[in-house]
Amino acid sequence: MRSSARAEGADIRVRDVRVSEDELSVALMDGRTITVPLAWYPRLEAATAAQRSHWEVAGAGYGIHWPDLDEDLRTEGLLAGARAPAGSAAWRSPR
């Protein structure tokens, strides 16, 4: 993967994930934390607290997968400020 997000010495693999009612925070192995509005990811925003807290590291450490929601995010996308694709706002999780 060629990107400025992968600057020499930067380790953008996932260390920890926290999801509040308003924000998604992803701690990276290199010590940085990415925090974005939960509204950027409608599946996560519509999910229950239990569904949000059930996540797995994916993609050799560079991604996050929520199996109950079929949601996947990559750290490179988070660093670039990428939001969920258009049309995903219509998706709603059963509560």
pTM (2 decimals)? 0.82
pLDDT tens, per residue, the chain with 95 residues: 444 455 567 999 999 999 999 999 999 999 999 999 999 999 999 999 999 999 999 999 999 999 999 999 999 999 999 998 875 544 444 43
Strand order in the sheet with 71-74: 56-58, 63-66, 71-74
Q: What is the pLDDT of residue 94?
A: 43
**Alpha-carbon separation of residue 84 from 5, 8, 44, 80 (angstroms):** 19, 28, 10, 12
DSSP H helical ranges for 1-95: 42-46, 49-53, 75-80
Query: Domains in the chain, please, with CATH?
Result: 4-81 (3.30.2020.40)
Nearest partner of 40 among 15, 73, 16, 7, judged by Cα: 73
